[in-house]
Chains A and B, each alone.
Chain A
Amino acid sequence: MNEVTITVNGVPETHQVEPRMLLVHFLRELCGLTGTNVGCDTTQCGCCTVHLDGRAVKSCTLLAVQADGSEVATIEGLGTSDRLHPMQESFREHHALQCGYCTSGMVMQGIDVVRSGIGHDERAVREALEGNLCRCTGYQNIVDAIMDVARNAPDSCGDGSVR
């Protein structure tokens, strides 16, 4: 067992873990944060997307021990049911989800897209969603939702500098 401290949504989380534990299981099982989903477990679908030190990564393809000492942001850290993050609000506005399984990953990736400064370019947005699969929406409304935030609330996604 290794002792690991990861700052999750601003709160230090210290746990004893086996080195083989994936970050997504650390988040779901040890932190109780079940908003991050596992879809494929093979780095394809993007359901498990979180931010590691400010950049979108797939938490099914990262060991918790690798994130020791780092900051991780998950969907739970963005807003509350009463005060949604502008990206969440935009997904609601644009009907960018149906079953919702992909949504937490899409929202986290969407924030990374706007933060990278490419959110005004539809082609770049679509390319940046290559690692996020949605079986329901057909993507159009997801792209609209992300581009809306890029236009109207880009600052809500941070400035693109890697912490």
Chain B
Amino acid sequence: MNLPDFKYERPQNLDAALELLRGNPQARVLAGGQTLIPALKQRLDRPSVLIDLRAIAELRGIEVSSTHVSVGAMTRHAEIAAHADIGMAIPALRHLASGIAHPQVRNMGTIGGSIANNDPAADYPAAVVGLDATVETTKRRIPADAFFTGLFETALEPEELVLRVHFRVPRRAGYHKIANQASGYVTVGCFIAAFDGQIRVAVNGAGPCVFRQADFEAALRANWSPDAIRDLKQDPATMNEDMHASKRYRAHLVAVAAARALNMAAGGLEMEKA
């Protein structure tokens, strides 16, 4: 399929990229292209110029400390899925990355592209919110809770780029998604993380945008066990509905995904860390 016509630039550093973006609302940055190129084929967008970020060293690199895992925006899903130190620090994050789409997409797709796009069916938003991450941009540092603002919407302003994502290392964490069988995209997913003094439960796929499930958080804070959430229900009213799953079914799956994520956080994958 022919794509619409556009120009192509490959700046060698961040300043050059920002210069190309300045005053050019029809410019788009290109990361892995695994969302943008299919979108262009469908004529969902008509950019005048694609600014390829692949040569920009400032957007790469993974750092793991005892308190944080920090990854550059251009880090590929496959790199996180294969990173031994991330696997030690936050096994659930590595698990999440290894379950995105399939290998060929993971070899191109990036975390920056995924969170900037904020597809309700994407995986990373659940980890960013669940792990209380900070999104570092070309202008500021945005806490996860303020980053994802709606369906395909984020707090990013025009000409503002994601530089890095800083995840907090939790005591325990788990992620489970009920995936669309064909694409791997999330029908409903849940990321649960326990920090000292805080439990975070992030739900993706289910609603128009990733959200924190406050009832589940409160219940787990009181009692960190499957019993605590066994009888909790998600309200179907705010759920997505499409050919894959109704509102009621999605609401039901929230509890299923949460129970499985908790199971991973409590034992399962977390054992690898010990």
- Are A56 and B7 neighbours in the complex by a CB distance under 8 Å? no
CB distance from B82 to the nearest CB of A (A): 8
| Residue of A whose beta carbon sits closest to that of B50 | A19
Contact present for B108 and A57 (CB under 8 Å): yes
Q: Which of B8, B40, B41, B182 contacts A44 (CB 8 A)?
A: B182
CB distance from B140 to the nearest CB of A (A): 29
Bound complex: CA of A19 vs CA of B30, how far in Å? 12
Q: Which of B1-37 contact A (CB under 8 A)?
A: 1-8, 10, 30, 33-34, 37
Distance between Cα atoms of A10 and B3 in the complex (Å): 28
- With the chains together, A100 CA to B105 CA distance in Å? 23
B87 to chain A, nearest CB (A): 15
**Interface members, chain A 85-121 (any B CB < 8 Å):** 109, 112-113
Closest CB in chain A relative to B262 CB, distance in Å: 24
- Whether A80 sits at the interface, judged by CB under 8 Å, is no
Q: Which A residues are CB-close (under 8 A) to B54?
A: 66
Assess the B33–A19 pair: CB atoms within 8 A: no
Within 8 A of B (CB), among A22-40: 22
Query: Which one, B37, B50, B78, contacts A55 given CB within 8 A?
Result: B78
Q: Report which of B2, B38, B78 forms a contact with A43, defined as CB distance below 8 A.
A: B38
Residues from chain A with a CB closer than 8 A to the CB of B7 are 19
Tell me which residues across on chain B come within 8 A of A78, comparing CB atoms.
none
Complex CA–CA separation, A132 to B107 (angstroms): 14
- Inter-chain contacts of B183 with A (CB < 8 A): 44
B2 and A20 within 8 A (CB): yes
* Contact in complex: B52, A128 (CB < 8 Å): no
Let me know if A55 and B107 touch, CB within 8 A.
yes
Which listed residue (A41, A58, A66) contacts B52, Cβ 8 A? A66
A16 within 8 A of B: no
Q: Which of B1, B30, B104, B108 contacts A109 (CB 8 A)?
A: B104
Chain B nearest Cβ from A107, distance in angstroms: 14
Contact A56 B5, beta carbon cutoff 8 Å? no
Nearest residue in B to A41 (C-beta to C-beta)? B1
Which residues of B sit under 8 angstroms from A44, Cβ to Cβ? 182-183
CB pair B37–A128 under 8 Å, yes or no, is no
How many chain A residues touch the partner (CB < 8 A)? 29
B143 within 8 A of A: no
- A20-B2, A20-B3, A109-B104 known; A61+B34 contact, CB < 8 A: yes
- B158 CB–A CB distance under 8 Å: no
Q: With A and B bound together, what is the CA distance between A89 and B34 in angstroms?
A: 32
Nearest CB in chain A to that of B78: its residue: A55
Q: Which residues of A contact B103 (CB under 8 A)?
A: 56, 109, 112-113, 128, 130-131
CA of A74 to CA of B107 in the docked complex: distance in angstroms? 16
Determine if A154 is an interface residue (Cβ-Cβ < 8 Å). no
- Tell me whether A131 and B6 are in contact (CB under 8 A): no
A18–B40 alpha-carbon span in the complex (Å):
15
In the assembled complex, which residues on chain A have CB atoms less than 8 Å from the CB atom of B129? none
Interface status of B230 (Cβ within 8 A of chain A): no
Does B101 reach chain A (CB closer than 8 Å)? yes
Residues facing B in A48-75 (CB within 8 A) are 49, 52, 55-58, 61-63, 65-66, 68
Min CB–CB distance A161 → chain B (angstroms): 12
Instruction: Give the CA-CA distance A22 to B38 in the complex, in Å.
Output: 11
A19 to B28, CA, bound (A): 14
Q: B104 near A46 (CB under 8 angstroms)?
A: yes
Residues of B within 8 A of A (CB): 1-8, 10, 30, 33-34, 37-38, 40-41, 50, 52, 54, 78, 101-105, 107-108, 182-184
Q: A19-B6, A46-B102 are in contact. List 5 more A-B contacts (CB 8 A).
A: A52-B107, A61-B38, A63-B37, A128-B102, A130-B184
